[in-house]
Chains A and B, each alone.
Chain A
Amino acid sequence: MSTIERLTQRFAGEGYSSSRFRDNTRFDIPSQSLVDVLTFLKSDCGFDLLVDITAVDLLEYPDARNRFRVVYALANTVTAERIYVRTHLDEPELTLASVVPMWLGADWMEREVFDMFGIRFAGHPNLKRILMPEEFTAFPLRKDYPLRGRGERHNFPVITRAES
């Protein structure tokens, strides 16, 4: 029985769906069941490696019903199988359960998603910005944030010859 069959058998109902794109297998889940699904995949299906956590801002995206999509890329290191677990979020409820207890490597990935999109991970041991400076206030990969920023990069003291 393939992984996606086992998944659809175990998790059925509102909010669950599976799809394929080229050779990618994707499984969409409601955000509350994230930990259940990932635990099932890790312990029962052998997906022991968390490859990546990332997010997509679906603002002004054709046919999008939600604002954010968070994608978990998993791999099975024995069978080299891969699966993409996706969940959707809307403002103001931008909180997901942290998977750091399951994969320690999720620490920096979740911090990056938080830094760039402002999605919070409940239970993360140290959820602070990882790429941008700590005093930065915006979430730069959101589509409503302008590419050139809001002048943050000009906000520094000027050192002239006279004072250096």
Chain B
Amino acid sequence: MAVAASDNVFMTRLDAAANWARSNSLWPMPFATACCGIELMATASSRYDIARFGAEVMRFSPRQCDLLIVAGRVVMKMLPVLQRIWLQMPEPKWCVSMGACACTGGVFDTYAVVLGVDRFIPVDIYVPGCPPRPEQLLASLIELQDAIKKHGTMTGKEFAERRTATGPAPFSLEELRRSRDYLLNKAEQDDAAQEERARTPTKQHP
């Protein structure tokens, strides 16, 4: 039995409908640790107005967010916090790595600064710049919306397919070598100290 649909009804897939809704109401979690955070605030305020793309609801609780914006450098003391925030966000969720420092560590190539958050959490969009202009962040948001509309599914099985970190090849060789040599030296020294202690007779009490 065929039923004629009226003019204001149209057919679509459930995936497409869900992704349309999701992509137009992304709730960002601002993880702003440096100057990129100021640009992020500018993007959210009236001149650039991220509300035009439905992403104006900045929430400071990861439980209420689905878009993590990492804005600024992340040091090794902050990385466990970032990972915890990412794990606390409910699915489906996306991550934007904003600025040179979040993407690669930027100019802060020192012992404490992590060389790109994508080494330790998944990242969907990279925004280059130091800091990026608000237009660049908006462009990344539009691109992310496109990606969600094209590849997103209702069940989120597109996420399960990504099993490895997506970042660039890790570690400078020199740094790895130094770390290994240090550990080897330390082990040797510890062994020597232990032998030394074993060789010297313990003091006998009369």
Contact = CB atoms under 8 A, between A and B. Distances in A.
Interface of A: 131-133, 140, 145-154, 156-162, 164
23 contacts: A132-B77, A133-B76, A133-B77, A140-B111, A147-B109, A148-B109, A149-B110, A150-B175, A150-B179, A152-B111, A153-B112, A153-B114, A153-B115, A156-B76, A156-B80, A157-B120, A159-B83, A159-B120, A161-B159, A161-B161, A161-B162, A162-B159, A162-B162
Given A133-B76, A150-B178, 4 more contacts: A150-B182, A156-B83, A160-B122, A160-B163
Q: Among the interface residues B111, B113, B122, B160, which one has the most CB atoms of the partner chain A within 10 A?
A: B111
Nearest to B179: A151
* List of 7 A-B pairs having minimum Cβ-Cβ separation, nearest first: A149-B111, A151-B179, A161-B162, A150-B179, A161-B159, A153-B76, A161-B122
Contact of A148 (B164, B165, B172): B172
Contacts of B111: 140, 145-150, 152-153
Contact-residue bracket for chain B: 20 to 34
Contact of B120 (A132, A140, A148, A156): A156
A140 B162 contact: no
Given A154-B170, A164-B86, A164-B87, A159 B121 contact: yes
B176 interface: yes
Contacts of A154: 115, 119, 170-171
Q: Chain B at the A interface: mostly helix, strand, loop or mixed?
A: loop
A147 B109 CA distance: 8
Contact of A159 (B76, B87, B171, B182): B87
Q: Chain A at the B interface: mostly helix, strand, loop or mixed?
A: loop
B162 A156 contact: no
Contacts of A140: 111-112
B32 interface: no
B82 to A, nearest CB: 10
B91 to A, nearest CB: 8
B125 interface: no
B53 to A, nearest CB: 24
Contacts of B122: 159-161, 164
Given A148-B111, A153-B76, A158 B163 contact: no
B34 interface: no
A4 B63 CA distance: 61
Contacts of A145: 111
B177 to A, nearest CB: 10
Contacts of A151: 171, 175-176, 178-179
